[in-house]
Amino acid sequence: MDFREIMADMYRNILIHYLKDQSETTLYKGQKFSRKSIEAQIPPEEIISIHKALLQELFPDIHQDILNSFDILLEVMVGYGLAYQEHQSLRTKQMEIRSEMEIAANMQQTLLGTSIPDVKGLDIGALSVPAKHMNGDYYHFVHDDGQFLNVAIADVIGKGIPAALCMSMIKYAMDSLPETRSAPNIVLESLNRVVEQNVDPSMFISMFYGIYDLNVHAFYFSSAGHEPGFFYDKRTGQFSEIHAKGLLLGIDKKTRYSQFKKEISPGDMIILLSDGVTESRTENGFIEKETLLDYIKQYLHLSAQEIVNHVYKDLEKLQNFYLRDDFTLIILRRKV
């Protein structure tokens, strides 16, 4: 007796017992039979054929119309079985892709991970949260010989694995720069040439690059089409945008970038972010700039990292805990 004959005999016993007692126990046996049939890859139409044959055996005088109705059910189940197999195949592939994405995300976190430096005279907070598995945002700190703190924040116009690969390339291009970094505009021009030569023309990268001079407390910065940050003036208690314009990385290898300077007094803050922060969305559309700044104002008495964490949680709650874009927020505050 082969396996299918064994399954047919099992189904016969279940059917006979149920016709006699209609018990819940027998129905449960039917569920177990169903699971075994799936494991044995027995298609549903074959089970219907077994059921039809058993009815003919148990009820020789059964009306022919009833038996004929099983022919329709057989055809329906053939289509259902094919659709179910396709569904299972797609589900398996989806699980494989999800597993690969999780591995890729872990690798990205390892490759692009950067630590927040402990810098005398500065309070630093940073947080980057991907909207999906892979992060299209990137931030990086380099504390050189103690005199300068370099900070970069970038955003790939694109998502998923291609964006992650672009960020990996940017990270290693930045690592290849001299330890004593030159001016921010020169850094962007160097990275721009790398991106233009190595990235698909359909993908572009925005980046803000700044160098904080710890000796004179001046912040030098340049932007390649990145979201404008904010400056908090402790003396006046006012926020203002950090204006720095420049072409996205990867458009034209001959692009030149302007450099700007900001004097930093005790208590002043530099706020850098990606568009996932300013473009947080509610049912009524994007949040206003003033809304974001109001959230920051609530937590000015806290450390920079606590401010970043609280603002993220507030904006996440505002969006019903669903991020539509990668979120990156950095705060540099000169200690009083």
* Each residue's pLDDT tens digit, 144-163: 667 899 999 998 876 666 76
pLDDT-derived band at 245 (thresholds 50, 70, 90) equals confident
Amino acid identity, position 6? I
Check residue 278 and give its pLDDT.
78
CATH of the domain at 25: 1.10.1240.30
Check residue 222 and give its pLDDT.
97
pLDDT greater than 90 at residue 336: no
Residues 46 and 111 grouped into a single domain: no
Check residue 179 and give its pLDDT.
59
Instruction: Give 107-132 as a DSSP string.
Output: HHHHHH--PPP--TTEEEEEEEE-SS
To 5 degrees, how large is the angle CA 13–CA 75–CA 16? 10
Check residue 159 and give its pLDDT.
61
Cα–Cα distances in angstroms (integers) from residue 244 to residues 28, 70, 99, 174, 260, in the given order: 69, 74, 40, 21, 7
Q: Count up the domains in the chain and report the number.
A: 2
- C-beta neighbour count of 264 within 10 angstroms: 23
pLDDT-derived band at 210 (thresholds 50, 70, 90) equals very high
Cβ pair 103, 162 in contact under 8 A: no
In a domain, 33, yes or no: yes
Residues 175 and 265 grouped into a single domain: yes
Give the domain-ending residue among 55, 72, 93: 93
CATH of the domain at 118: 3.60.40.10
- Token pair for 209: 């690059």
Residues 86 and 151 grouped into a single domain: no
Residues 218 and 170 grouped into a single domain: yes
Check residue 334 and give its pLDDT.
97
Domain that holds residue 221: 105-334
Residues 13 and 153 grouped into a single domain: no
In a domain, 99, yes or no: no
Residues 80 and 182 grouped into a single domain: no
Check residue 262 and give its pLDDT.
96
Check residue 43 and give its pLDDT.
81
Alpha helices in 40-63 (DSSP H): 44-58
Residues 160 and 305 grouped into a single domain: yes
pLDDT-derived band at 136 (thresholds 50, 70, 90) equals confident
Separation of alpha carbons 44 and 28, rounded Å: 18
Residues 258 and 126 grouped into a single domain: yes
pLDDT greater than 60 at residue 107: yes
pLDDT greater than 70 at residue 100: no
- Strands of the sheet with 229-233, listed across from one edge: 122-129, 327-334, 269-273, 229-233, 238-242
Overall average pLDDT of the 287-292 stretch: 83
Regarding predicted confidence, which is higher, 44 or 209?
209
Residues 46 and 166 grouped into a single domain: no
pLDDT greater than 80 at residue 71: yes
Check residue 111 and give its pLDDT.
64
Residues 136 and 81 grouped into a single domain: no
Residues 111 and 58 grouped into a single domain: no
Give the domain-ending residue among 93, 124, 152: 93
In a domain, 98, yes or no: no
Strands 238-242 and 229-233: antiparallel
Give the domain-ending residue among 93, 113, 130: 93
Cα–Cα distances in angstroms (integers) from residue 205 to residues 76, 195, 227, 332, in the given order: 52, 8, 11, 23
pLDDT-derived band at 308 (thresholds 50, 70, 90) equals very high
Helix/strand/coil for 103: helix
Residues 134 and 191 grouped into a single domain: yes
Regarding predicted confidence, which is higher, 317 or 106?
317
In a domain, 100, yes or no: no
pLDDT greater than 60 at residue 274: yes
Regarding predicted confidence, which is higher, 1 or 188?
188
Separation of alpha carbons 23 and 7, rounded Å: 21
pLDDT greater than 70 at residue 86: yes
Check residue 220 and give its pLDDT.
96
Separation of alpha carbons 132 and 53, rounded Å: 52
Share of the chain above pLDDT 70, in %: 88
pTM, rounded to two decimals? 0.70
**Mean confidence (pLDDT) of the chain:** 84
To 5 degrees, how large is the angle CA 46–CA 49–CA 51? 115
